[in-house]
Amino acid sequence: MQMKNRIRQKLEKTFSPLSVLDVINESDNHQGHKGSPGTGESHFKIRLKSPAFNNLSRVTAHRLIYKSLDAEFKEGLHALSIEILT
């Protein structure tokens, strides 16, 4: 399964319900950068909105997102840009 789909499924499952979820592959913008595995699935941006983030600091919300995607980071996800919508 593609990394993008795995990210989407994990976020949907962990932070449901989500009123907004965009998973954008930005790997092409980072070709040749140090640490990039060159797989075409290493750099992603996510935009999401969920009641699960209400009353949480941005730092706490980011930590929860990173924790939910731990397996993906171990399997080649190199960078993640996060935008939490309010």
- The pair of structure tokens assigned to 31 is 């070709």
Give the structural domain span for 9.
Answer: 3-84
Number of domains in the chain: 1
Each residue of 13-51: pLDDT tens digit?
A: 999 999 999 999 998 765 666 655 556 688 999 999 999
Which tokens in the block code for residue 8?
Answer: 């989407």
Other residues' Cβ atoms within 10 Å of the Cβ of residue 31: 11
Per-residue confidence (pLDDT) for residue 32, from 0 to 100: 60
Residue with tokens 């009641």: 51
What is the sign, positive or negative, of the torsion defined by CA atoms of 84, 5, 27, 66? positive
Percentage of the chain exceeding pLDDT 90: 74
Q: Give the CATH number, domain containing residue 57.
A: 3.30.300.90
Sheet holding 43-49, edge to edge: 20-25, 43-49, 79-84
- Name which of 60, 78, 45 is nearest 15 in CA terms: 60
